[in-house]
């Protein structure tokens, strides 16, 4: 039985969440908190398997409640966030502090899609309840991100030290991205080429995410715009809820365009991005990091077969969720399996423009 603690200042939302999950015999609501402070107290007393956390609450908001819970009694926390710029920024901060996932909901109660959100919520509750023991071992994400992969790498992992500098870097990332991507970018520093990132996120979230990364890293991180030219040193976050493709209208000029693929299961989609990058004339490097599913593996195969591109996979033991990099490794396309810091350092050596930024592993203290 999955023990769920609901934290939301709205009585309507608490009733709605209970209605979403009550039909599933594997989930039991063990408590309801009206404030962040109540949620912290109940988390310590009830020891739930999963917590749903509202972003905005009185007395103590969801951000501070997440910080305290992850410091005192680590537990998977799923943020429920309205589709607003303000809430998106707070949600991203909560994910950095230890929340494992989020669900975007429309701000109006009238617009609340209980069937759609309910199915997503139940799936995530079951997934993260199974991962609770691993979360506790991670000690509130103060993880040693040193590479844990055997130095005697399998023969299919190609040497990349003597590679030609890439003219473009593409990166796919999903669950765990807001906590992990800043670590990699700080270790990387400014590149002599553009980077385009497909981070699975809904609309309204990627603009705040780009702003947050820009402030955290000092890099030129921007949200994509249709028809944007890609310039050296830019880190472009694909606009949420859609896909982006790279085009080269004439040699040396790279452009990014929004083009949602109706067959893609999730957006922004790494496979779509990677496949489009296989058509440019310059060398390309690809990175596949933490996330559920296998997005990036098919597009990575295209990059390897068409351009002999290097694909760097995040070491699974350092991932919040290892599905995406593990799929790339299992497919035999990984050039190297590295920690987030070492991925950044590798890119800095291949295409760096200056010394990497000083990196301090974040804690929740």
Whether residue 101 has pLDDT greater than 50: yes
pLDDT digit string (tens) for 181-203? 999 999 999 999 999 999 999 88
pLDDT in tens, 129-168: 988 765 554 444 444 433 343 434 443 444 555 568 999 9
More confident residue, 57 or 31: 31
Identify whether 271 is a catalytic site residue: no
Catalytic residue among 61, 101, 243, 295: 295
Render the burial of 315-330: b for 16+ CB within 10 Å, e for the rest. bbebbbbbbbbbbbbe
Active site (annotated) includes residue 174: yes
**Residue 310 appears among annotated catalytic residues:** no
pLDDT tens-digit readout, 243-266: 999 999 999 999 999 999 999 999
Q: Which domains does the chain have, with CATH numbers?
A: 2-137 (3.40.50.2300), 168-351 (3.40.50.180)
Of 8, 54, 61, 200, the active-site residue reads 200
> Which residue in 174, 211, 276, 327 is the catalytic one?
174
Q: Which residue has the higher pLDDT, 302 or 148?
A: 302
């Amino acid at each position: 039985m999955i023990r769920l603690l609901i934290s939301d200042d709205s009585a309507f939302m608490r009733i709605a969440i209970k209605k979403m999950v009550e039909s599933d015999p594997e989930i039991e609501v063990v408590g309801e908190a009206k404030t962040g402070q109540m949620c912290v107290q109940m988390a310590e007393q009830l020891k739930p398997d999963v917590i749903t956390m509202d972003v905005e609450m009185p007395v103590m908001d969801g951000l501070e409640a997440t910080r305290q819970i992850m410091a005192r009694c680590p537990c998977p926390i799923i943020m429920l966030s309205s589709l607003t710029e303000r809430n998106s920024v707070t949600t991203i901060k909560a994910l950095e502090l230890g929340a494992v996932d989020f669900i975007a909901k429309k701000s109006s109660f009238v617009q609340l899609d209980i069937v759609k959100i309910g199915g997503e919520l139940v799936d995530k509750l079951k997934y993260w309840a199974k991962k609770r023991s691993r979360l506790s071992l991670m000690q509130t994400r103060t993880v040693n991100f040193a590479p844990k992969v055997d130095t005697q790498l399998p023969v299919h992992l190609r040497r990349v030290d003597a590679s030609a500098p890439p003219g473009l870097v593409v990166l796919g990332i999903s669950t765990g991205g807001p906590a992990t991507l800043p670590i990699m970018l700080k270790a990387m520093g400014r590149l002599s080429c553009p980077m385009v990132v497909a981070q699975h996120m809904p609309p309204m979230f990627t603009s705040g995410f780009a702003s947050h990364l820009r402030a955290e890293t000092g890099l030129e991180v921007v949200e994509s715009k249709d028809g944007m030219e890609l310039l050296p040193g830019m880190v472009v976050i694909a606009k949420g809820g859609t896909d982006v493709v790279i085009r080269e209208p004439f040699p040396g000029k790279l452009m990014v365009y929004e083009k949602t693929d109706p067959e893609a299961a999730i957006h922004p989609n790494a496979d779509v991005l990677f496949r489009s990058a296989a058509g440019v004339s310059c060398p390309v490097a690809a990175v596949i990091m933490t996330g559920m599913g296998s997005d990036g593996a098919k597009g990575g195969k295209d990059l390897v077969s068409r351009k002999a591109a290097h694909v760097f996979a995040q070491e699974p033991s350092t991932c919040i969720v290892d599905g995406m990099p593990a799929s790339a490794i299992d497919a035999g396309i990984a050039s190297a399996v590295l920690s987030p810091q070492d991925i950044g350092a590798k890119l800095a050596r291949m295409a760096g423009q200056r010394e990497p930024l000083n990196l301090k592993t974040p804690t929740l203290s």
